[in-house]
Amino acid sequence: GAGVSQSPSNKVTEKGKDVELRCDPISGHTALYWYRQSLGQGLEFLIYFQGNSAPDKSGLPSDRFSAERTGGSVSTLTIQRTQQEDSAVYLCASSLASRANSYEQYFGPGTRLTVT
Amino acid sequence: AQSVTQLDSHVSVSEGTPVLLRCNYSSSYSPSLFWYVQHPNKGLQLLLKYTSAATLVKGINGFEAEFKKSETSFHLTKPSAHMSDAAEYFCVVSDQDGGSQGNLIFGKGTKLSVKP
């Protein structure tokens, strides 16, 4: 069956522009996670959704970052006024529910964002 | 706070020899621990997980890991390396007691090289 998909796969943008990254989770998965993988910081948690609500936004690095999820399915991560330090691979994962020790998180291939 | 430390950033082995990737964790709770693998240009894949059942956990592709509470370790092993095992491996702990929230905390990763 279809896995987690993300688009675009690559995005190059100029500093100061806004970008939107999209994640399509596996059908029926209620939990959705965003992570960022960068050279200096490794892989870090950004935000997660249970259904359409985001109980934990603590990982968002600044108020330039926001995310939403509609219809309990697709999620969009928006970065406003991009900075060079935002360059990273943004990974999305989904799982049946939000208990990590019970439900495997399935990861998408990621969106590689380069801010010039 | 939960954290994991992967003791080696790079491990190189010859094909057919054993693999040992080391991981130590710090946790205020009974941890849920995972190993993920990331092959080049592919998404993260769950290898195995520990969730307070058997301390020796068997995963896919012949990998296993042993949870040692006294040593706060969760090292990943495989008796005989295969060329296809070359990838980056991440030791991961769940952020909440019992993994109730689900977001994962990743180690910095260990790149495994396999020589013919």
Return the pLDDT at B25: 93
pLDDT in tens, B28-61: 777 889 999 999 878 899 999 987 778 899 999 9
CB B2 within 8 A of CB B94: yes
**What would the DSSP string read from start to end of B44-83?**
EEEEEEE-SS-SEEE-GGG-EEEEETTTTEEEEEESS--G
Return the pLDDT at B98: 47
pLDDT in tens, A27-43: 999 999 999 999 877 88
Which chain B positions have a beta carbon within 8 Å of A43's beta carbon? Answer: 90, 106, 109
Phi, psi dihedrals of residue A30, rounded to the nearest 5°: -90, -25
CB A93 within 8 A of CB A105: yes
Return the pLDDT at A100: 57
Query: What are the pLDDT tens digits along chain B (116 aa)?
Result: 788 999 999 999 999 999 999 999 998 777 889 999 999 878 899 999 987 778 899 999 999 999 998 999 999 999 999 999 999 999 998 866 544 456 788 999 999 999 99
User: Does A108 contact B at CB distance below 8 Å?
Assistant: yes
Cα dist from A13 to A68, A109, A115, whole Å: 21, 20, 5
Query: What is the average pLDDT value for chain A, to the nearest integer?
Result: 91
pLDDT in tens, A40-87: 778 888 998 988 988 878 889 999 999 999 888 999 999 999 999 999
Return the pLDDT at A98: 67
Q: Chain B residues with CB-CB distance to A under 8 A?
A: 32, 34, 41-46, 49, 51-52, 90, 94-96, 98-109
Sequence-distant (≥ 6) Cβ neighbours of residue B53 within 8 angstroms? none
| Other residues' Cβ atoms within 10 Å of the Cβ of residue A90 | 23
Rg (CA), chain B: 14
Q: Is the bond preceding residue A8 a cis peptide, omega within 30 degrees?
A: yes
